[in-house]
Structure 1
Amino acid sequence: MKWYVVYTKPKWEKRATEQLTKFGVTCYCPMIKKVKQRSDRKIKVEVPLFDHYIFVKLAEKDRNMVFHSPGIVRYLFWLGKHAIVKDQEIETIKEWLKHGDTAREISVMQYQIGDRIHLNSGPFCEQNAVVKDITKTHYVLILESLGYVLKVKHL
Structure 2
Amino acid sequence: MKHWYLLYCKRTEQQRAEQNLKRQGVDCYYPIVTVEKLRRGKYQQVEEPLFPNYVFAYFDPECVQYTSVRSTRGVVDFVRQGAYPVTVDLALIQQLMVLEDSDEQRETLHQGFKPGQRVTVEYGQFAGAEAIFKERDGEKRCILLIKMLNRQTELCVNNTDIKAAH
Q: Deviations over 1:84-114 (max 9, x none)?
A: 1011110011111153325878xxxxxxxxx
- Which residue identity lines up with residue 69 of structure 2 in the other structure? V
CA distance in 1, matches of 2:105, 2:32: 16
CA distance in 1, matches of 2:95, 2:44: 28
Match of 1:91 among 83, 90, 94: 94
| Equivalent residue, structure 1, for 2:20 | 19
Structure 1: which 5+ runs fail to align?
Answer: 106-134, 138-150
Larger mean CA deviation between 50-59 and 62-71 belongs to: 62-71
CA distance in 2, matches of 1:16, 1:99: 25
Change (3 A) 1:52 1:21: same
CA distance in 2, matches of 1:7, 1:26: 15
- Which residue identity lines up with residue 48 of structure 2 in the other structure? V
1:34, CA displacement in angstroms? 1.3
Residue 100, structure 1, aligned to residue 103, structure 2:
yes
CA distance in 1, matches of 2:41, 2:106: 31
1:3, CA displacement in angstroms? 0.4
TM-score, normalised by the number of residues in structure 1: 0.61
Change (3 A) 1:89 1:80: same
Q: Deviations over 1:56-83 (max 9, x none)?
A: 0111232223245321000001354311
Would you identify which runs of 4 or more consecutive aligned residues in structure 1 move more than 3 Å?
102-105
1:41, CA displacement in angstroms? 2.7
In the alignment, is the contact (CA less than 8 A) between 1:3 and 1:57 conserved in 2?
A: yes
Change (3 A) 1:53 1:96: same
Match of 1:72 among 75, 80, 83: 75
Radius of gyration: which is bigger? Answer: 2
Structure 2: which 5+ runs fail to align?
Answer: 109-120, 124-159
- State the superposition RMSD in angstroms: 2.7
Give the match's secondary structure for 1:69. coil
Change (3 A) 1:94 1:154: farther
Change (3 A) 1:104 1:37: closer
